[in-house]
C-alpha cells in the first residue's frame, strides 16, 4: 500500500463527492471509510502503481483482494460515494436517496485540478481561525491523519480531533459556488511551513508539497512566489542548527550544506514569476531569500539590492516586522549607524499601538543589540542581548541570545 | 511507580550557592550547562523515568475572574517580585527517594566557573487515584 499515493488522491476524491452534492463533513467521513476499505482490499505490494493492460478491474470491484487496482482514484470515488449514499440512506428519507442515485454521474475522468483548488479555498475559509484552517488543510488537502497532525503540532490527538471536527462543522454549510481568496490560502500554507517541526511529519516539507500542488493547479505569480520562498528557506535548513540544536546565524552557516538543487529550483520559479511583472510580497521575500542563497560567502551578500527589495516590501505591505528586517539590511549596506536610524523609525511606527501594552515586536531588541555591537557599543549590546533573551519565543533563540550576551560580557 | 514534578523557579526560591546570572557566564559554560541538562533528560529517557520537560518564558500574569460580564482581572504583563516557574520536568520513578536523588543531580548542573550552581528545585508528587485491588 503506497501511503504517499493515497494521500495525493484524497483531496480530489473529497472534491468530487462535494461537487456531486455531498456535504463537506459527510464527504470527508465517506473518504476516510473508503481509505480503510482500500487498506484492506488493495494488494499489499502497492500494485496500484503497476496497471495491468486489458483487465476489467477498477471501480467495479470493491473486493479486489490480490488484484492490481487499475484506477485507484476511480476506485476510491466509487467506494466513497457508496459509503456516502449508505450513510445518507440510513439518515434520510427514501426520496432523497433516489434523487441522489438519479444524479450519480457516469464514472470517467474528472477534471481533478479545479476540484482540488476549491478544496484549498474551503479549507482556508475566512470563517475559520488560522489554527483550524491549518488543521483542516492538512487533513483534507494533505491527507494526513489526525494523529500525524497532532504530533506535528505537539498537542494531544484528542485536542486535534476536536479542532478538526469543529472546523468541519464551521464549513459544513459553505457552498463551492464562488472562488476564494488566493491570499488566504497562501497565508495558511505559509503558517504550515513556518511551524516546521520535524518528526513523524515534517510540516515544512508538507507545506512545500501542498504549495507545489497548488502551483500546478493555478497560474498565479504569488503562488509561484510562495513556492520559491519556501524552497529557498528550506534549502538552508540543515545549516541553520548545530548538532546540539543551537542556532547558527546566517553569516556563520556552512554554505556547503545548503541544498543547491532546491536553491536553483526556487530561483528558477521566482524568475519566471517576476518576469510577469505582477509583484507581490511573497515574490519580494523570495527575491531577498534568493540574494542570500546566491552569495558564495556572507561577505559577498548584495545588501544594497536587498535593501531595495525591502523598500518594495514596505510599499506592498508596510508592517513593523518588514521595517525591522529592513533596518538589519540597511545596517549591513550602509553601516550600523544607518541601521540604528532605520530601527528608530520602526520604534516610532509602532509606539502608538503596541508599546502601550509593554510589548515590542519580536526580535526588536535582538536587532538593536546586534546593531549596537557592530557600532562598537559592547556594553549596551550585552545588556540588550540579555534583555532579548528574556523575550525570546523559543529555547533555541533564548540560548543563542544568552550566549551572545555572555560572549560580550566575557570580552569586556 | 510514582510521578513527581521537578520545578525550577526564576524567583521565590532561596538563592543558589553559585548564583551568577547566565549572561555573565562564558559561552562554553552555557554550553556545558545545556549539555548537562540534555544528558540528564536523555539518561532518564533510557531508564524509562522521563515523562515530560518544558521551559517557560519568564513573563507571566496573575488572572482572576472579576464578576459577571466583566473581563478577567490581570496584574499586567510585568511580574517583578512574584514567584515564577522557569520550567519543569516530570519524572516517573520508583519512589520519593529516587525523586530526591534525581532532583539533587539536576541541581548540580554546572554554572559559572564550571562549578555546580546548587540551584534549589521543588519536588512535588502527583496526586494519583488509589491502586485497584488487583494491583
- How confident is chain A (412 residues) per 10-residue block, as mean pLDDT? 76 86 86 85 60 41 57 90 86 60 54 71 88 91 89 85 90 72 92 78 92 92 97 95 88 96 98 97 98 95 97 93 95 97 80 47 91 97 95 87 94 74
C-alpha–C-alpha distance, residues A345 and A147, integer Å: 46
Who wins on pLDDT, B72 or B6? B6
Q: Which among B22, B24, B77 has CB closest to A358? A: B77
Closest among B90, B64, B88, B77 to B1, alpha carbons compared: B90
CA atoms in the 13 A half-sphere facing the CB of A102? 6
pLDDT number for residue A46: 52
Using a CB-CB cut-off of 8 Å, the residues of chain B touching A393 are 57
Among partner residues A391, A392, A406, which is closest to B26 by beta-carbon distance? Answer: A406
> If pLDDT is split at 50, 70 and 90, which confidence band does B134 have?
low
Q: Is the CB of A402 less than 8 angstroms away from the CB of B78?
A: no
Q: Are A120 and A211 within 8 A, CB to CB?
A: no
pLDDT digits (tens, 9 = 90+) for B24-75: 999 999 999 999 999 999 999 988 999 989 988 887 888 888 889 888 888 7
Q: Which residues of A touch B24 (CB under 8 A)?
A: 406, 409
**Smallest CA–CA distance from A357 into chain B, residue:** B77
Q: What pLDDT score does A197 carry?
A: 67
Reported pTM: 0.79
Do B27 and A406 make contact, defined as CB atoms within 8 angstroms?
Answer: yes
Q: Is A108 left (phi over 0), alpha (psi -120 to 50) or beta?
A: left
Residue of A nearest to B58 (CA): A390
Strands (E), chain B: 2-11, 50-55, 63-64, 73-74, 84-93, 121-125
Q: Which residues, in sequence order, are CB contacts of A362 under 8 Å at separation 6+? A: A321, A391, A393
Determine, for residues A402 and B22 on separate chains, whether the beta-carbon distance falls below 8 Å: yes
B75-126: per-residue pLDDT in tens? 776 655 667 788 999 999 988 999 999 999 999 999 999 999 999 999 999 9
Quote ipTM for the complex.
Answer: 0.76
Interface of A with B (CB under 8 A): 244, 246, 357-359, 382, 385-386, 389-393, 395, 398-399, 402-403, 405-407, 409-410
pLDDT of residue B23 exceeding 60, the answer is yes
Q: Is B11 on the interface with A (CB under 8 A)?
A: no
Contact (CB<8Å) B23/A405: yes
Question: For residue A99, what are the contacts with CB-CB under 8 A and spacing of at least 6?
Answer: none
- The reported pLDDT for the residue numbered B105 is 94
Structure confidence at residue B57 (pLDDT): 84
Grid coordinates representing A196?
516546521
Distance from CA of A391 to the nearest CA of B (A): 7
| Buried-state track A131-170, b at ≥16 Cβ within 10 A, e below 16 | ebbbbbbbbbbbbbbbebbbbbbeeeeeebeebbeebbeb
Q: Distance, in angstroms, between B97 CA and closest chain A CA? A: 31
Cβ neighbours around A50 below 10 Å, total: 11
Q: Report how many helices (DSSP H) and strands (DSSP E) chain A contains, helices first.
A: 20, 0
d(CA A53, CA A64): 16
Question: Cell numbers of A298, please?
Answer: 556572507
| Alpha-helix runs per DSSP H in B60-95 | none
Per-residue cell: B132: 485497584
Of the candidates B23, B34, B38, which has its C-beta nearest A409's C-beta? B23
Distance from the Cα of B29 to chain A's closest Cα (Å) equals 9
Amino acid at each position: 500500500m503506497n501511503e504517499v499515493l493515497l494521500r495525493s488522491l484524497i483531496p480530489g476524491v473529497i472534491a468530487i463527492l462535494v461537487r456531486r452534492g455531498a456535504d463537506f463533513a459527510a464527504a470527508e467521513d465517506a473518504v476516510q471509510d473508503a481509505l480503510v476499505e482500500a487498506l484492506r482490499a488493495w494488494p499489499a505490494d502497492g500494485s496500484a502503481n503497476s496497471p495491468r493492460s486489458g483487465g476489467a478491474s477498477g471501480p467495479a470491484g470493491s473486493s479486489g483482494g490480490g488484484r492490481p487496482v487499475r484506477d485507484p482514484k476511480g476506485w476510491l470515488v466509487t467506494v466513497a460515494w457508496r459509503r456516502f449514499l449508505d450513510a445518507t440512506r440510513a439518515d434520510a428519507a427514501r426520496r432523497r436517496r433516489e434523487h441522489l442515485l438519479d444524479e450519480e454521474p457516469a464514472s470517467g475522468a474528472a477534471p481533478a485540478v479545479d476540484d482540488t483548488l476549491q478544496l484549498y479555498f474551503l479549507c482556508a475559509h475566512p470563517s475559520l481561525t488560522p489554527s483550524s484552517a491549518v488543521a483542516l488543510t492538512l487533513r483534507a488537502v494533505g491527507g494526513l491523519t489526525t494523529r500525524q497532525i497532532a504530533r506535528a503540532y505537539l498537542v494531544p490527538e484528542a485536542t486535534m480531533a476536536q479542532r478538526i471536527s469543529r472546523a468541519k462543522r464551521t464549513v459544513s454549510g459553505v457552498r463551492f459556488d464562488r472562488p476564494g481568496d488566493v491570499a488566504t490560502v497562501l497565508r495558511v500554507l505559509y503558517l504550515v511551513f513556518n511551524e516546521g517541526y520535524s518528526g513523524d511529519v515534517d510540516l515544512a516539507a508538507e507545506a512545500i508539497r501542498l504549495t507545489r500542488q497548488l502551483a500546478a493547479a493555478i497560474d498565479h505569480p504569488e503562488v509561484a512566489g510562495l513556492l520559491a520562498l519556501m524552497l529557498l528557506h528550506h534549502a538552508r535548513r540543515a545549516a541553520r542548527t548545530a548538532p546540539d540544536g543551537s542556532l547558527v546565524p546566517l553569516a556563520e552557516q556552512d554554505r556547503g550544506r545548503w541544498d543547491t538543487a532546491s536553491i536553483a529550483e526556487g530561483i528558477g520559479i521566482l524568475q519566471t514569476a517576476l518576469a510577469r511583472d505582477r509583484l507581490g510580497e511573497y515574490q519580494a521575500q523570495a527575491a531577498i531569500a534568493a540574494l542570500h542563497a546566491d552569495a558564495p560567502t556572507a561577505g559577498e551578500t548584495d545588501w544594497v539590492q536587498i535593501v531595495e527589495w525591502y523598500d518594495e516590501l514596505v510599499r506592498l505591505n508596510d508592517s513593523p516586522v518588514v521595517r525591522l528586517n529592513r533596518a538589519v539590511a540597511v545596517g549591513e549596506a550602509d553601516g550600523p549607524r544607518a541601521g540604528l536610524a532605520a530601527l528608530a523609525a520602526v520604534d516610532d511606527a509602532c509606539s502608538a499601538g503596541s508599546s502601550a501594552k509593554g510589548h515590542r515586536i519580536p526580535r526588536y531588541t535582538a536587532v538593536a543589540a546586534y546593531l549596537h555591537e557592530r557600532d562598537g557599543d559592547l556594553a549596551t549590546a550585552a545588556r540588550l542581548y540579555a534583555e532579548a533573551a528574556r523575550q525570546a519565543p523559543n529555547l533555541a533563540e533564548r540560548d543563542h541570545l544568552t550566549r551572545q550576551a555572555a560572549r560580550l560580557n566575557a570580552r569586556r | 511507580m510514582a510521578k513527581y514534578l521537578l520545578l525550577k523557579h526564576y524567583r521565590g526560591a532561596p538563592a543558589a550557592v553559585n548564583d551568577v546570572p547566565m549572561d555573565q557566564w562564558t559561552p562554553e559554560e552555557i554550553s556545558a550547562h545545556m549539555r548537562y541538562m540534555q544528558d540528564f533528560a536523555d539518561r532518564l529517557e533510557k531508564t524509562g523515568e522521563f515523562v515530560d520537560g518544558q521551559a517557560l518564558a519568564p513573563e507571566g500574569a496573575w488572572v482572576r475572574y472579576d464578576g459577571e460580564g466583566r473581563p478577567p482581572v490581570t496584574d499586567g504583563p510585568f511580574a517583578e517580585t512574584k514567584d515564577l516557574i522557569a520550567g519543569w520536568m516530570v519524572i516517573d520513578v520508583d519512589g520519593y527517594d529516587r525523586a530526591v536523588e534525581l532532583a539533587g543531580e539536576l541541581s548540580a548542573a554546572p554554572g559559572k566557573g564550571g562549578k555546580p550552581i546548587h540551584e534549589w528545585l521543588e519536588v512535588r508528587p502527583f496526586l494519583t487515584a488509589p491502586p485497584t485491588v488487583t494491583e
